[in-house]
A and B are shown apart, each in its own frame.
Chain A
């Protein structure tokens, strides 16, 4: 970098994403606290380890192949040609942003004075991967083996959510072009898919012992430590705010990017789709959707702390698909509606299908995400799904505008095709191999029985 302004923009962008990664780390801290708060004493340490160990498992596989998938799969393959090379094959040629840049042996995947962005961008997406896996983790506590969870975490964190991000989040994704899919802050791309995946696993894994009476009536195994739940969810909110920041490009000149004319500049923050938005606007929307969710969660659960906090999260998730463009009052009302839907659906599915979702993750992330995508299709109907629709940078490829049908199909793809189905199939395979669920005796005694017993012996020995 020799030009001062270019250097400033590059280093600002590098530092911006670096900070978002640190902020998003709080999501994982929050999930750990939240899960421990929701689990019973006899399962605490295994619950904590399960969620902690997804960090290295997903990180390593994200380095091996996850990041490559994101850059290789925007075309499907075979569904829509890339605007980079006009081919519908996997993007593994020598074109700009080709997946070949991001194989683990690439010189861009290391300290490189010619590239200040790849590592921080890789890490921002990696933190999204942890979140996707962590959402699944909460739903299945107290009865899954750590081995099975590790496999499932890698599948959702480094494979399936990455494919959906390539399809529906990448500026070159086929879902933008064919469906007009728009999901600025990942109602579907992370939350609906992770919720669907968790539901698929839960359908095979079954409920915790004692969750349902002999007549099938659900019993409440509520969170045991409201303080951990509260602090955990506040940390998740904080990290989610960092996530919102990470989903933007903080400063970008759309003038040359959109071909606005010789010497025309238009500096702005953009969404992940390289469409204009403002950090100011999304701050309004983040806080108003949090508030809408909290109000609805408090009301619908009659002041239950667990569901009130979860309602705040569900509210943000519902409004996230369109929070780059909504008015704050729209964001608030959409959030409140999505939270109400998530709460009602959670108990309906629990009663009807005997699904034991220990922390309401399928509802808060999955159902709220799906509702958010559908609403976005109506409220943003007609907006361009991409700035490149009629752009002069890459001529010859059109993008469909945002529309309800495209968003409904998108929701089905996220929740069902890339979420529920792989979760269910993988859980079936693990179940068939006898590796999915812990023995009944261990579940009753508690996963931490040996640890607690040893601790007691240690205490006695110490005197």
Chain B
């Protein structure tokens, strides 16, 4: 998975003869698997929206069923 195993070799090895003096520039691990990481991140991101929206709706419905009045919250303010 390591893209670089020796910094000196990496910095002194040209990509090819046509690009002499240019070294491989992307040094992050698992180069070439960006699509896999993106897929995982997008799934996480979509799942996060669904998961938190569900939780938020549940919490609000629970509170709505209790029907507290507009001023009831004042009884619950703690000293800080």
Contacts and interface: CB of A to CB of B under 8 A. Distances in A.
Contacts of A276: 7, 11, 27
B41 A383 contact: no
A336 interface: yes
Nearest to A258: B8
Interface residues of A, number: 40
Contact of B1 (A41, A382, A389): A382
Nearest to B78: A224
B15 interface: no
Contacts, number: 95
Interface string B37-68: 11011001100100110011001000000000
A333 B41 contact: yes
Interface in B1-56: 1-9, 11-12, 27-30, 34, 37-38, 40-41, 44-45, 48, 51-52, 55-56
B72 interface: no
Given A299-B48, A299-B51, A383-B4, A41 B79 contact: yes
B4 A224 contact: no
- The interface size bin for chain B is 20 to 34
A383 B37 contact: no
Interface in A342-385: 379-384
A359 B59 CA distance: 25
B73 interface: no
A303 B55 contact: yes
B38 A329 contact: yes
Contacts of B7: 254, 258, 275-276, 384, 387, 389
A224 B79 contact: yes
A401 interface: yes
B80 A327 contact: no
Contacts of B2: 380-383, 401-402
Interface string A104-127: 000000000000000000000000
A460 to B, nearest CB: 21
B14 to A, nearest CB: 12
Q: Which 9 A-B pairs have the closest CB atoms?
A: A382-B2, A224-B80, A329-B37, A327-B28, A387-B7, A225-B80, A383-B2, A329-B41, A258-B8
Interface of A: 40-41, 224-225, 254, 258-261, 264, 266, 275-277, 281, 295, 298-299, 302-303, 325-327, 329-330, 332-333, 336, 379-384, 387, 389-391, 401-402
